[in-house]
Amino acid sequence: MTVTEAFALDAGRFRSDFPVLTTRSRSGAPLAYLDNAASTQHPAAVIDAIADCYRGYYANVHRGIHTLSEESTERYERARKTVARFLNTEHARELIFTAGTTAAINTVARAWGSANVGEGDHILLTMAEHHANIVPWFQLATQVGAHVHFVPLTDDGRLDLESVARMLDALRPKMFAFTAVSNVLGTVNPVAALVEMARERGSATLVDAAQAAPHGPVDVREWGADFVVFSGHKVCGPTGIGVLYGREAVLDAMPPFLGGGAMIHRVTTRGFEPAPLPEKFEAGTPPITEAIGLEAAVEYLGHVGLEAIGRYERQLVERAEAGLREIPGLEILGPAPEHKAGIVSFAIEGIHAHDIAQWLDTRGIAVRAGHHCAMPLHQSLGITASTRASFYFYNTPDEVDAMVDAVGEARDRFRKRGRKRQ
């Protein structure tokens, strides 16, 4: 029995934990959910944790002197500790709950950026960034008169460390913000090496781990970055919650971003004193139930095993690419499977990505088509859109094969139509 077959049996077992995966698509075909880079599905353990909170002990946190509020506060802070362990932070107070990756990056760009980036300064990104790690930096640059630059990728969609070093040397950017895993190409970046290169040149670092945290262990101490961010809904958790990790000294020195209740130590008619970490960055009522759902999600992933998830997904990627390569006119984007997390994007000459995705939907297969919030990357590849299949540990080799077959059918069908029109 191959490793894939061995793990596929486990994938089958895990599937039954996910109620939605037993449903059928509109077409009547069994659902093959291959849109995990957009958002993952939820195991019963997460759904139950959220329902248990609302049913059993929900109240606002950090303010009530009553039993429910105390229990709810205790569970919310327990969730922080669990997620902090998931990232191996030094202290739980370095873990700020936000509304998601986008909210976390905006917090850093606004709060850290306004205190540390000024006129004529530089911010370095890579060509593989999601708009969430581009637009907030442009907004900051416009506000303070700074400049945003992009490290180009190699022809096979990887970061060339010499180009990174050259740009760091030439620009001495205040911030180097980059993704750990590309949401389009699947490319896995050497995070610790990139952070070290930036630190040696005096640049702060932010790592967008939105596509890394679902697919393998994230150890923020090993990475050494100033900030690491990810979203709950991509790790089997709820929407409306994400994480901003910051090194304690950096967060302590950073001014608060949103102002309001809960983030203050004292307010007088003359001003306010911010609360200590982590409350300083959690103004207003936080995402209480969502944090408890996220805790259940990361505990569940720990039970599945993050190393095993990464290994298994790489096998699904290899299988998908081997099949897709047989389809004439199809180009797989990004590097070879050994450099990828569980994402395969491709383009077929003369056929729009939306047509392919729509055809796959008629077969019960959910993939994403478009620019995937990465327009600069698509521009650099000379295309406007791509089709993306993104896998998770509950996907099976059969689903991958069904996707490959359906893409082949789509190619034949739309190519014939194109020919008839000529």
Ligand X SMILES: Cc1ncc(COP(=O)(O)O)c(C=O)c1O
Summarize as ranges the residues that interact with ligand X (CB under 6 A): 100-102, 130, 132-133, 179, 183, 208, 210-211, 231
At residue 385's C-alpha, the angle toward residues 382 and 389, to 5°, is: 125
- List beta partners, residue 332: 346
Other CB atoms within 10 A of residue 326 CB:
9
Rounded Cα distance between 273 and 17, Å, is: 46
Rounded Cα distance between 51 and 141, Å, is: 43
Measured from the CB atom, is 231 or 289 closer to ligand X?
231
Measured from the CB atom, is 203 or 211 closer to ligand X?
211
385 Cβ contact partners less than 8 Å away, ≥ 6 residues apart: 347, 352, 353, 354, 369, 370, 371, 378
Distance of CA 38 to the CA centre of its chain: 8
In whole angstroms, the minimum distance from the beta carbon of 68 to ligand X comes to: 30
* Residue in this structure with the two tokens 């596509």, named with its chain if needed: 211
Measured from the CB atom, is 130 or 319 closer to ligand X?
130
Question: Is 53 an annotated catalytic residue?
Answer: no
Rounded Cα distance between 351 and 125, Å, is: 31
Long-range contacts of 6-10 (CB under 8 A, 24+ apart): 7/308, 7/311, 7/312, 7/315, 8/396, 8/397, 10/308, 10/393
In whole angstroms, the minimum distance from the beta carbon of 178 to ligand X comes to: 10
Measured from the CB atom, is 207 or 254 closer to ligand X?
207
* Residue in this structure with the two tokens 């949103």, named with its chain if needed: 258
Phi-psi region of 123 (alpha: psi -120 to 50; beta: other; left: phi over 0): beta
In whole angstroms, the minimum distance from the beta carbon of 61 to ligand X comes to: 23
Residues 31 and 38 sit within 8 Å (Cβ to Cβ): no
In whole angstroms, the minimum distance from the beta carbon of 102 to ligand X comes to: 3
In whole angstroms, the minimum distance from the beta carbon of 322 to ligand X comes to: 25
In whole angstroms, the minimum distance from the beta carbon of 295 to ligand X comes to: 18
Other CB atoms within 10 A of residue 123 CB:
26
At residue 260's C-alpha, the angle toward residues 240 and 293, to 5°, is: 25
Distance of CA 149 to the CA centre of its chain: 22
In whole angstroms, the minimum distance from the beta carbon of 246 to ligand X comes to: 17
Measured from the CB atom, is 287 or 406 closer to ligand X?
287
In whole angstroms, the minimum distance from the beta carbon of 120 to ligand X comes to: 28
Give rounded-to-5 percent helix, strand, coil for the chain: 50, 20, 35
What backbone torsions phi and psi does residue 71 show, to the nearest 5 degrees?
Answer: -70, -45
In whole angstroms, the minimum distance from the beta carbon of 100 to ligand X comes to: 3
Rounded Cα distance between 353 and 370, Å, is: 7
Rounded Cα distance between 77 and 300, Å, is: 18
Q: Which one is catalytic: 308, 373, 375, 383? A: 373
Measured from the CB atom, is 186 or 224 closer to ligand X?
186
Token representation of residue 214 = 């679902």
Rounded Cα distance between 95 and 286, Å, is: 13
Annotated catalytic residues are: 373
